[in-house]
């Protein structure tokens, strides 16, 4: 059996879809399952059992020989969450217990880290960085992810195969439930559909024009392809970036959404809120050499192609992957 934590969520449910497409159906889906809108993400998936996240760590006891692989995607991902106790409980302590279980029982594990660990990018976005303690995440969520990365790397005993993936700006199907934490593509689609206009933050940095702020946007289908590739190939255990390796501007993103909707481009620039202005990132771009050197040769979809697929085949009909 294969375990997927966070299986009702955005990336987790897309991973379940990928596993089904590849012929894997003996899946244990782990989440809290209290959000009915979120549960629609796995409504038509094939799986063996649902296990509540609060029961999961105890549920595994005695099933060590049945578990073939663990994808630990579940986490509290709200970047505006400032309750450190909740983040420590769900993103740090829970992950430590699962990691230890996998270590003790020779179970391979892939877990979700985050590009939020890089903070403002003062030290770049290089997954070969040796001293992770130098990084300064911009919020407690990013710090919780960094804390686990540092802890995992420091352990003398590790699972016989493990990988942590630092997700960059992921967008795509199955994020309807995420509200304000959904991708910019999702919000852009809804704004444009409502009033044929999109609001973007203007630049408060003289080095960037309005709308020229850059992010490494990666389509969720590419993300789950990498996760599946990692499960099958089991290359060197390590931390890996997971972006496209090529940043694109918010104007690129906006243009792609307008084009997919066949609506004339109409953009209004508004001030970045003062309370987040000093922590606003103007550039992110994953250094992808480490992963690509492990044999992943599939081309990542540029935002023009990914957004078109997302808008036309999912958002327009409120469909799920």
Residues noted as catalytic: 141, 178
DSSP bridge partners of 29: 4, 50
Phi, psi (5° rounding) for residue 166? Answer: -90, 95
Q: Give the burial class of 234: count Cβ atoms within 10 A of its Cβ; 0-12 exposed, 13-18 middle, 19 or more buried.
A: middle
Distance from C-alpha of 184 to C-alpha of 123, rounded to nearest angstrom = 25
What is the enclosing helix (H) or strand (E) of 269? Answer: strand 267-270
d(CA 238, CA 170): 21
Which structure tokens are listed for 168?
Answer: 């960059």
> Beta strand 248-249 with 214-215: parallel, antiparallel or unpaired?
antiparallel
- Give the whole-angstrom CA distance, residue 22 versus residue 232: 11
SS3 for 295?
A: coil
**DSSP of 215-226:** E-EEEHHHHHHH
SS3 52: strand
Q: How many residues does the chain have?
A: 321
């Amino acid at each position: 059996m294969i375990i997927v934590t966070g299986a009702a969520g955005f990336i987790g449910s897309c991973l379940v879809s990928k596993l089904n497409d590849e012929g894997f159906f003996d899946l244990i889906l782990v989440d809290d399952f209290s959000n009915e809108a979120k549960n629609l993400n796995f409504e038509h998936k094939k799986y063996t059992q649902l296990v509540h996240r609060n029961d999961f760590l105890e549920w595994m006891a005695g099933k060590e020989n049945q578990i073939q692989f663990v994808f630990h995607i579940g986490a509290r991902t709200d970047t505006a969450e400032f309750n450190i106790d909740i983040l420590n409980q769900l993103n740090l302590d829970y992950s430590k217990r699962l990691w230890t279980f996998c270590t003790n029982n020779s179970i391979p594990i892939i877990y979700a880290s985050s590009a939020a660990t890089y903070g403002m990018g003062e030290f770049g976005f290089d997954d070969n960085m040796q001293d992770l303690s130098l990084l300064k995440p911009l919020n407690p969520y990013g710090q919780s992810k960094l804390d686990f990365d540092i802890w995992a790397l420091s352990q003398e005993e590790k699972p016989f195969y493990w990988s942590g993936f630092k997700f960059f700006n992921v967008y795509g199907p199955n994020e309807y439930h995420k509200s304000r934490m959904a991708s910019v593509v999702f919000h852009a689609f809804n704004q444009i559909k409502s009033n044929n206009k999109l609001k973007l933050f203007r630049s408060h940095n003289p080095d960037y024009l309005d709308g020229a702020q850059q992010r490494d946007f990666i389509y969720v289908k590419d993300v789950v392809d990498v996760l599946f590739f990692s499960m099958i190939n089991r290359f060197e255990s390590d931390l890996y970036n997971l972006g496209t390796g090529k940043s694109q501007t918010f104007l690129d993103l906006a243009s792609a959404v307008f084009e997919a909707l066949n609506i004339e481009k109409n953009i209004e620039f508004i001030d970045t809120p003062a309370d987040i202005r000093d922590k606003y990132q103007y550039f992110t771009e994953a250094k992808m050499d480490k992963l690509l050197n492990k044999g992943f040769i599939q081309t990542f979809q540029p935002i023009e192609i990914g957004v078109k697929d997302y808008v036309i085949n999912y958002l327009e009909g409120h469909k799920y992957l």
